[in-house]
Amino acid sequence: MGNRIQFVLNRLRERLWFKPIGMCLISVFFALMAKNSSYLDINDHVPNISLETLETLLSIISNSMLVIATFSVASMLSSYTLASNTATPRSFDLIIADDVTQNALSAFIGAFIFSIVSLIALKNNFYDKTGIFVLFIITLTTFGIVILTFVRWVDRVARLGHLGPTINKVEVATKKAFQKRLQNPTLGGIKIKTGFVEKYTVYGSEIGHIQRIEMSGLQKFAKEHDCFIEVVALPGTFVSPGYPLAHIYNMESFDGCDECIQKTFTIGRCRTFDEDPCYGLVLLSEIACRSLSPGVNDSGTAVDVIKSMIRLFVLWNKSDKKETTIEYDRIMVPEITISSMFNDSFRAISRDGAGDLSVSIWLQKAFYSLSKLECPEIQKACLEYARDSYLCSKKTLGIECDVDILSDMVKKMNDKVICD
């Protein structure tokens, strides 16, 4: 249940209307809360605040906040468009969920609503002496919050949408997804077992990417029918009608089980970071490939992406992996393979960057660095991809001296790569 709520909240965070509406409700609450201060019976102890002073402050806020909110929306849309054009359109949801920007827009709109509601209440003599004093304190606090938010937001919007911060955002989101998956490599289930005889395959009924799997629902079904379930399609997989979602083993009757299993798979149009660590690798690879296109020709961005890849794979290989608690002992889930992760990360960059010497060199440096990790799977993948990248670059570079430079560097790092 907790994972489902977190999944829904993450989707709401990607909607620009969510936080502003919440802030509007909070603003109305505070504007009306000042009325309740009259029950404190402290009229004789609070200073007398003139209505003109309070009305002036509220008018300033109401007149300026709507303009600032409109300006902030225009700046945000410009930044989002820039990010989609320079990085990758798939980074849009990640950028739009930027907390600082959403908080700024929410603060501006909330302050505007607060000032309007407070002015209406003030004009209609809604507050007594204590209420006016409390409203004055709340107004000053709101004014201070708006100023601090604006200063912080200006610093953020100057960077929002540019390649550097976008790459960093994708890397941070991928890192969080990695850490989450490292804690539950099999999503709380057990590793794949063999030896089952009877098998029934449940196929998808929708078209889209699997965004999450309701493991508790699968476990409940498996317990009720005394069976085992093997998940075939992990989060991130593109499925369609006829694509296998899961296998059911040791179940007496398979009638009516398709719909129950299909309901546990949340399928949407796009991939998400929540339970799909490889999605971030795909986004980073897309950013690098776009920077290597003839119209952009920015090899430095591709190099930055390769560095991000190195950091992420080092994180994935951390040796302090703890034994995870098995919550769903009847659900078998395959782990993400290093081969698929390398394919998402380096295949496209090796192809599109084969004609750029600096990118080719940095790819070899990445494979050499990662091959030093104490993981046989990573070491095997590094040798395979280093060899493929070298052969591709050798054919594409075109200039003999560039090929010689790359060959000499590869020989010094790992002579097994060159197998002419």
Q: How far is CA 25 from each of CA 10, 20, 21, 35, 58, rounded to the nearest angstrom? A: 20, 9, 6, 16, 18
Convert the pLDDT of each residue in 8-30 to its tens digit.
666 666 676 777 787 778 878 87
Convert the pLDDT of each residue in 120-176 to its tens digit.
888 887 777 777 888 888 888 888 888 888 888 777 777 766 778 888 889 999 999
What is the rounded CA–CA span in Å between residue 52 and residue 287? 55
Contact 155, 293 (CB under 8 A): no
Please name the helix (run of DSSP H) or strand (run of DSSP E) that holds residue 105, with its range, or none: helix 99-123
What pLDDT, on a 0 to 100 scale, did the predictor assign at position 343? 94
Closest by CA to 112, choosing from 18, 16, 28, 19, is: 28
- Letter for the amino acid at 411? K
What pLDDT, on a 0 to 100 scale, did the predictor assign at position 378? 93
What pLDDT, on a 0 to 100 scale, did the predictor assign at position 331? 92
Assess whether pLDDT exceeds 60 at residue 1: no
Two structure tokens written together for 413:
């790092």
Assess whether pLDDT exceeds 80 at residue 376: yes
Measured from the Cβ of residue 368, the count of other Cβ atoms closer than 10 Å reads 17
What is the rounded CA–CA span in Å between residue 51 and residue 26? 23
Beta strand 331-332 with 228-231: parallel, antiparallel or unpaired?
parallel
208: β partners: 239
Higher pLDDT, 404 or 311: 311
Assess whether pLDDT exceeds 60 at residue 399: yes
Higher pLDDT, 244 or 34: 244
Please name the helix (run of DSSP H) or strand (run of DSSP E) that holds residue 331, with its range, or none: strand 331-332
Closest by CA to 127, choosing from 61, 49, 60, is: 49
The overall pTM is greater than 0.85: no
What pLDDT, on a 0 to 100 scale, did the predictor assign at position 40? 61
Q: How far is CA 322 from each of CA 39, 67, 160, rounded to the nearest angstrom? A: 56, 52, 37
What pLDDT, on a 0 to 100 scale, did the predictor assign at position 61? 84
What pLDDT, on a 0 to 100 scale, did the predictor assign at position 151? 82
What pLDDT, on a 0 to 100 scale, did the predictor assign at position 340? 93
Q: Is the dihedral of CA 81, 84, 86, 87 positive or negative?
A: positive
Convert the pLDDT of each residue in 189-240 to its tens digit.
898 887 777 788 899 889 999 998 999 899 999 898 888 999 999 999 999 9
Convert the pLDDT of each residue in 246-270 to its tens digit.
999 887 777 778 888 999 999 988 8
What is the rounded CA–CA span in Å between residue 355 and residue 295? 15
What pLDDT, on a 0 to 100 scale, did the predictor assign at position 11? 67
Beta strand 238-239 with 265-268: parallel, antiparallel or unpaired?
unpaired
Contact 350, 363 (CB under 8 A): yes
3-state secondary structure of 213: strand
Higher pLDDT, 385 or 36: 385
Q: How confident is the model at residue 32 (pLDDT cuts 50, 70, 90)?
A: confident
What pLDDT, on a 0 to 100 scale, did the predictor assign at position 302? 92
Share of the chain above pLDDT 90, in %: 27
Higher pLDDT, 323 or 416: 416
Greatest mean pLDDT among 66-80, 81-95, 280-294 lies in 280-294
Higher pLDDT, 284 or 296: 284
Contact 264, 206 (CB under 8 A): no
What pLDDT, on a 0 to 100 scale, did the predictor assign at position 282? 93
| Count of helix runs (H) and strand runs (E) in the chain | 15, 7
- b/e for 141-165, b at 16 or more Cβ within 10 A? ebbeebeebbeebeebbeebbebeb
Torsion angles phi and psi, residue 325, rounded to 5? -80, 130
Mean of pLDDT values over 87-94: 72
What pLDDT, on a 0 to 100 scale, did the predictor assign at position 348? 93
Rounded to the nearest integer, the mean pLDDT of the chain is 83
Share of the chain above pLDDT 70, in %: 88
Side-chain half-sphere of 409: how many Cα atoms within 13 Å?
A: 20
Closest by CA to 389, choosing from 375, 409, 400, is: 409
Assess whether pLDDT exceeds 80 at residue 93: no
Q: How confident is the model at residue 308 (pLDDT cuts 50, 70, 90)?
A: very high
Contact 265, 211 (CB under 8 A): no
Lowest mean pLDDT among 108-122, 356-370, 372-386: 108-122
What pLDDT, on a 0 to 100 scale, did the predictor assign at position 320? 54
What pLDDT, on a 0 to 100 scale, did the predictor assign at position 231? 93
What is the rounded CA–CA span in Å between residue 229 and residue 219? 8
Greatest mean pLDDT among 23-27, 180-184, 364-368 lies in 364-368
Convert the pLDDT of each residue in 314-360 to its tens digit.
999 875 555 567 889 899 999 999 999 999 999 999 999 988 999 99
